[in-house]
Chains A and B, each alone.
Chain A
Amino acid sequence: AQTIHQWPVAEIKAVGSPLSLGCTIKGKSSPNLYWYWQATGGTLQQLFYSITVGQVESVVQLNLSASRPKDDQFILSTEKLLLSHSGFYLCARTNNYAEQFFGPGTRLTVL
């Protein structure tokens, strides 16, 4: 079975502190991977996508960066958090028919 694991489940961080969120895909080789950000009850904003290891495309500029160090791993990070970074972060992959499979998400609160 293909699964998406995200870590941590939730984070409370101070403004100006660094952040690293992780996503691991199991059961699917060479997946297309995506990071999304969602304000509480709001729309899904695609942040980054990656087709292969070492390659990441940025969709919007939110003072965040992403990396794909392994085929099954996608990392979202920043060196300095802003209040506006608070929200729900979702990792997703697609299948051959363009269906998006989302992970359980990470809830980030920046204080």
Chain B
Amino acid sequence: QQKVQQSPESLSVPEGGMASLNCTSSDRNFQYFWWYRQHSGEGPKALMSIFSDGDKKEGRFTAHLNKASLHVSLHIRDSQPSDSALYFCAARPNNRIFFGDGTQLVVKP
């Protein structure tokens, strides 16, 4: 059973638009979430973490966590072509780290 589920699989937004990515965990032991971004041919890089209920904002990126529903989202405002990448949600209870299947974001100029 997939422990971390992401949606949508792919997303296309116009430049300057808002991109919204979603992630849900099926395990209540997963209380700590990360968002990673991977550009083609590179290793993933951490964008931001969120461990507490509510919103966390870093520049154009806002993560939201609802621990009761084990749902975390990432919102990218004023999307830029350079934001086009594969985005992963990750959750970790211990030394195992579980990644979602990723959302492919395309920002069209």
Q: Please list the residues of chain A having a beta carbon within 8 angstroms of any beta carbon in chain B.
A: 32, 34, 41-44, 46, 49, 51, 57, 59, 90, 92, 94, 97-105, 107
Contact = CB atoms under 8 A, between A and B. Distances in A.
B101 A42 contact: yes
B11 to A, nearest CB: 14
20 contacts: A41-B104, A42-B101, A43-B88, A43-B99, A43-B100, A43-B101, A44-B44, A44-B88, A49-B95, A98-B32, A98-B34, A98-B49, A99-B34, A100-B36, A100-B46, A100-B97, A101-B46, A102-B44, A102-B45, A105-B41
Interface in B49-104: 49, 86, 88, 90, 92, 95-102, 104
B43 A105 contact: yes
Nearest to B104: A41
Contacts of A32: 95
Given A32-B95, A46-B96, A99 B49 contact: yes
Given A41-B102, A46-B97, A105-B43, 6 more contacts: A41-B86, A46-B96, A49-B96, A94-B97, A101-B46, A104-B42
A91 to B, nearest CB: 8
B44 A42 contact: no
Contact of A103 (B43, B96, B100): B43
Please give me the 9 A-B residue pairs with the lowest Cβ-Cβ distance, nearest first: A102-B43, A43-B101, A44-B99, A99-B46, A105-B43, A98-B92, A102-B44, A90-B43, A104-B43
B88 to A, nearest CB: 6
Contacts of A101: 46
Contacts of A43: 88, 99-102
A51 B95 contact: yes
Contacts of A44: 44, 88, 99
Contacts of B96: 46, 49, 59
Give the most central of A41, A94, A98, A107: most B CB within 10 Å. A98
A51 to B, nearest CB: 7
A32 B94 CA distance: 12
B101 A100 contact: no
